[in-house]
Amino acid sequence: MNHDSGNINDFGMDTISLAGTLEAKLQAVRDAGFGQIMLAAKDVVGHPDGLDAAVAAVRASGLRVTGFQVLRDFEGLSGHLHDYKVDIAKSMLSMCHQLGCRLLLICSSTSVHATQETQALVRDLRKLAMLAIPMNIRVAYEALSWGRTVNEFPQAWDLVCQADMPNLGLGFDSFHMFATNTSLDALDMLDPDKVFLVQLADFMWTEIKSVEERIATARHFRVFPGEGVHSEALAALVTRLHGLGYRGDYSFEVFNDDYQQMPLATVAARARRSALWLGEDVLRRSVPLPNQIRLKHRTTG
């Protein structure tokens, strides 16, 4: 790291922002100066040389895997649908473990086949977290803004609290919060140690009128923080999370069709600019000292 480079250690890119092969994505992210990357299951299962080759490429890249995504429509199912989803979850956990990744992301269910009964949702989240314990994986539960029962983060937080598992926490995506106009004040109820991941994205329009438009925007028209019209809100959000005591990772969850047809280095440079803006101008991170090492938390118990 050059002495004139900023501190972007807390920020990472997501493979979904980039076109091309897994190796090309890893290289582009690395070259832009990032130390971590968020992976999707299809990055590794779709590798032409198979899963083991994908795992080897990720490990060889030296990048830390921020998290592995995404388990969908898991909670609230019963009978054979539940058993089927448990198998899917186990498969994702196994891949996550192989990658040396410590975090699995799960989105709130959109399924009309799932019950809306709180106790059942809590029970399923507990079960998923239990499956993850032997593998040393944490589970981040995220409120998808078009989730059927859980669509705002305070609801996801409520389930996380009720499930009360040490390795179950909140996955927080700024896009969904802005899309539903959830108040920033709601952040104050969060325990920062139970926020396992924060995903950030901006978008280009001020208002989203329908659920259809929300889904289309989320999947095709997101931009990096600072590139859209919600920069101030994003700055306020990360400042608030920092003030709350959040010290975890920020991952750029930027789905964008245009970025999929631009050179990887160009997209990664945009992400870097965004990370520098957040790290330098918003959070005013200091550049780490040379040979900085990460010590384990001192045990309090």
Partner 1 sequence: MKNTLQTSTDREAITEPANPLGLDGLEFIEYATARPQALGQVLESMGFRPVARHRSREVLLYRQGDINIIVNAHGQAAAGDEADDRPVIAAVALRVRDAAAAYRRALDRGAWAVPSRVEVMELNIPAIHGVGTSRIYFVDRYDRFSIYDVDFVPIPGVDARPPAVAGLHFFGVVQYIGNDRTEDWTEFYRELFGFVELPAEQRFGILPKGRILRSPCPAGSRFYIQLIEPEAGVLDVEDDEALQRVGLGTADVLATVAELGKRGVEFVESRGVHTEDRGALTRSWLGGISFELVHDARA
Counting contacts by CB under 8 A, is residue 129 touching partner 1? yes
Looking at beta carbons only, is 31 or 188 nearer to partner 1? 188
| Residues in region 53-112 near partner 1 by CB under 8 A | 90
- Take residue 1 and report the two structure tokens written for it: 């790291």
Q: What are 111's two structure tokens?
A: 């399924």
Nearer to partner 1 by Cβ, of 158 and 213: the residue is 158
Site string (149-188) toward partner 1, x via CB under 8 A: xxxx-xx--xx--x--xxx------------x-x------
Nearer to partner 1, 108 or 199 (CB): 108
CA-based torsion, 241, 251, 173, 201: positive or negative? positive
Report in angstroms how near the CB of residue 132 gets to partner 1 at its nearest. 8
Q: What are the residues whose beta carbons fall under 8 Å from the beta carbon of 142, sequence distance 6 or more?
A: 105, 106, 107, 108, 153, 156, 170, 171, 172, 173, 176, 197, 199
Evaluate whether 128 touches 74 at the Cβ level (below 8 Å).
yes
Long-range contacts at 156-162 (CB < 8 A, ≥ 24 apart)? 156/108, 157/189, 157/190, 159/118, 159/121, 159/122, 159/125, 160/125, 160/194, 162/118, 162/122
Applying CB under 8 A, the span of 31-39, 71-79, 145-153, 278-286 interacting with partner 1 comes to: 145-153
Binding status of residue 297 toward partner 1 by CB under 8 A:
yes
Asked whether position 301 contacts partner 1 by CB under 8 A, the answer is yes
Note the residues at the interface with partner 1 (CB under 8 A). Answer: 90, 116-119, 126-131, 133-134, 136, 149-152, 154-155, 158-159, 162, 165-167, 180, 182, 293-299, 301
